[in-house]
Structure 1
Amino acid sequence: MNRKYKITCALTVLTLALTGCASKGKVEKVKPNPLPKLVQAKTLVPVFSNSVASTDEADPLRLRMDVDQGVVFTVNPNGEVEAFNGKQRLWQKKVSKSGLTAGVEAADGIVVVGNAKGQLFALDQATGEQKWVVQLTGALLSPSLIQAGRVISVTNDGTVYANEVATGHQTWTYSLPNVQFSLRGMAAPVALDARNILIASSNAYIYVIDAISGVPKLQRRVAVSDGRSDIQRLIDIDGEPTVAGQFLITTSYQGQVTALDLATQQVIWSNDASSIQRPEVVGNGVFVAQTDGKIVAYEITSGQKLWENDQLLNRNLSNPVMLGQDLVVGDLDGVLHLLNPATGELVGRSKTSGEVRTLRVVDNQLYVSTRKGALSIWQNR
Structure 2
Amino acid sequence: MTFGLRSLALALLLATLAACSSGPDRPEPTPLQSFAPQIQGAQVWQAQLGDVEFALAVAADATSVTLASSSGDVIALAADTGRELWRGNVGEALSAGVGSDGRYASVVTRGNELVVFDAGKLLWRARLDTRVVTAPLVAGERVFVLGVDRSVRAFDVLDGRKLWALARSGDPLTLLQAGVLLPWQNTLVVGQAARLVGLDPLSGAQRWEAAIASPRGTNEVERLADLVGPAARIGDTVCARGFQSAVGCVDAARGVLSWTKNVGGANGVAADEQLVFGADASDRITAWKREGGDVAWTSDDLRFRSLSSPLVLGRTLVFGDYQGQLHFLDRENGKPLLRLPTDGEAIVGAPVKAGPNIVAVTRDGGVFAFRAE
TM-score scaled by length of structure 1: 0.89
Q: 1:88 to 1:303 in 2, by over 3 A?
A: closer
Number of the residue aligned with 2:87: 92
SS in 2 for 1:62: coil
Q: Deviations over 1:271-323 (max 9, x none)?
A: 11123322211121111122210110111112111100011111111111123
**Counterparts of 2:199 and 2:237 in 1: how far apart (Å)?**
17
Q: Does 1:343 align with 2:340?
A: no
**Counterparts of 2:240 and 2:309 in 1: how far apart (Å)?**
13
Contact kept? 2:146, 2:152, Cα under 8 Å: yes
| Aligned match for 2:110, one of 106, 116, 124 | 116
Contact kept? 1:318, 1:357, Cα under 8 Å: yes
Deviation at 1:69, TM superposition (A): 7.0
Any runs of at least 4 consecutive aligned residues in structure 1 with deviations exceeding 4 A, and if so which? 16-20
Contact kept? 2:51, 2:363, Cα under 8 Å: yes
Number of the residue aligned with 2:286: 296
Show structure 2 runs of 5+ residues with no match: none
Contact kept? 2:198, 2:255, Cα under 8 Å: no
Contact kept? 1:50, 1:375, Cα under 8 Å: yes
Q: Which amino acid aligns with 1:149?
A: E
Deviation at 1:250, TM superposition (A): 1.6
| Aligned match for 1:64, one of 54, 57, 69 | 57
Number of the residue aligned with 2:352: 360
- Listed as ranges, the matches of 1:6-25 within 5 Å are 6-18=9-21
**Counterparts of 1:78 and 1:286 in 2: how far apart (Å)?**
35
Q: Which amino acid aligns with 2:132?
A: L
SS in 1 for 2:93: coil
SS in 2 for 1:238: strand
| Aligned match for 1:377, one of 345, 366, 369 | 369
Q: Which amino acid aligns with 2:43?
A: P
- Report % sequence identity: 22
Deviation at 1:332, TM superposition (A): 0.8
Contact kept? 2:264, 2:280, Cα under 8 Å: yes
Contact kept? 1:150, 1:162, Cα under 8 Å: yes
Number of the residue aligned with 1:323: 313
Deviation at 1:18, TM superposition (A): 4.3
RMSD: 2.2
Q: Which amino acid aligns with 2:100?
A: A
SS in 1 for 2:227: coil
| Aligned match for 1:101, one of 85, 95, 109 | 95
**Counterparts of 1:108 and 1:308 in 2: how far apart (Å)?**
36
**Counterparts of 1:158 and 1:40 in 2: how far apart (Å)?**
43
Deviation at 1:106, TM superposition (A): 2.2
Show structure 1 runs of 5+ residues with no match: 21-26
Deviation at 1:324, TM superposition (A): 3.4
Deviation at 1:63, TM superposition (A): 1.1
Contact kept? 1:191, 1:198, Cα under 8 Å: yes
Aligned residues: 366
SS in 1 for 2:303: coil
SS in 2 for 1:5: helix
SS in 2 for 1:241: strand
Number of the residue aligned with 1:210: 200
Number of the residue aligned with 2:121: 129
Deviation at 1:167, TM superposition (A): 0.7
Q: Does 1:249 align with 2:249?
A: no
Deviation at 1:205, TM superposition (A): 1.2
Q: Does 1:182 align with 2:185?
A: no
Contact kept? 1:366, 1:377, Cα under 8 Å: yes
- Listed as ranges, the matches of 1:253-292 within 5 Å are 253-292=243-282
